[in-house]
Amino acid sequence: MEYQSELENTIRDMVQKGRGILAADESSPTIAKRFKAINVESTEETRRAWRSLLVTTEGLGEYISGIILFEETLGQNTPDGKTIPEAAWAQKIVPGIKVDKGKVPLALSPGDLITQGLDGLADRLKTYKAQGARFAKWREVYAIEKHNPSQHGIEANAEMLARYAAVCQAEGLVPIVEPEVLMDGDHDIDRHAQVTEAVQHAVFHALHRHHVALELMILKPNMVLPGKDCRRAEPDEVAEATLRVLRRTVPAAVPSINFLSGGQGPEEATANLNALNRQGADSPWRLSISYGRALQQTALHAWLGKPENVPAAQKALLERARLNHLAMLGEYRPDMEPAA
């Protein structure tokens, strides 16, 4: 493989004990929704200010090894004139980029979704790489309903993830493969496990068909959870169900599994990660994070779009990252949470 040593270096820099990935790649509609909750208008400048705040949080690199950025952010600068990717790498946080173009209904497959963005991907990756990105991320989404996801939907989404991952490795960027089985609905944890297992099986079959080197990718899956409208599961139950599925589906060659938070609150996501690391201490993979809202939420509400609140917001982000660092080591306790 042409870029093997480059890919190996990126994996080495990202897959480290007690460090995880910060997802800061919200699309324009998503970040507008987050900002609206704190009465801040989403403009190019407010988005730059927020994402600059994230990467300039002193000490964040102790707990965070990678950051997923939105395309716009790659070309933006911090107040001291560094590009945001440069500021991230100054703390040994590897900059990466979300490359998919969002989901649409899958043709002739009612209820299933498919993600767009393969057209021109290789050329876009060359541009992103020149701007400092060293890894990429692509998300496929699976909604659980009575007849969904269908087998056709599962296979079509797996094919997209594998094609994307192959292009990334061919261009020298580590692919983060993100198949997210949503927790929306009233399904129980067993149904979520059943669908997640089917999805993961299909994804790894497709990755094999497309000659993707598993040692040079990162998996970003959902945890196995009951639906939002079902009873809440305790962390040990979540960990047991999630590990059972992963052990059945994910080859040991994959270096790291970085869970998405998927609508969990910050404390819930941290407690579940801690249980996963306690129960899965003998797993062949690192069990880490690629959290967005579960890392950013407390900091966002401390910031409120005001420059004078930047230190408080950075302190909140650093504390949330530290708690997740402890959870990656299986050493987190709920009583460590800051007072409300």
Q: According to the model, what pLDDT value does residue 1 have?
A: 79
Q: According to the model, what pLDDT value does residue 283 have?
A: 97
Choosing from 26, 140, 220, 240, the catalytic residue is 220
Phi and psi at residue 95, to the nearest 5°: -80, 140
Residues pairing with 259 in the sheet: 289
Q: Is 101 a catalytic residue?
A: no
Phi and psi at residue 145, to the nearest 5°: -135, -175
- Mind listing the pLDDT tens digit for each residue in 172-218? 999 999 999 999 999 999 999 999 999 999 999 999 999 999 999 99
Choosing from 178, 180, 240, 268, the catalytic residue is 178
Region of residue 129 (left: phi > 0; alpha: psi -120 to 50; beta: else): alpha
Domain boundaries, the chain: 4-336
**Buried-exposed string 280-308: b where 16+ CB fall within 10 A, e elsewhere:** beebebbbbbbbbbbbbbbbbebbeeeee
DSSP 339: P
Residues pairing with 290 in the sheet: 21
Tell me the residue ranges of DSSP E strands in the chain.
Answer: 20-24, 64-69, 94-98, 103-105, 113-115, 135-142, 174-181, 218-219, 256-259, 286-291
Q: According to the model, what pLDDT value does residue 340 have?
A: 67
Q: According to the model, what pLDDT value does residue 339 have?
A: 78
Q: Is 178 a catalytic residue?
A: yes
CATH architecture of 4-336: Alpha-Beta Barrel (3.20)
Residue 66, CB-side half-sphere exposure with 13 Å CA sphere: 33
Residue numbers of the chain with a pLDDT score lower than 50 = none
d(CA 314, CA 60): 9
Query: Is the C-alpha dihedral spanning 264, 265, 268, 274 positive or negative?
Result: positive
Region of residue 177 (left: phi > 0; alpha: psi -120 to 50; beta: else): beta
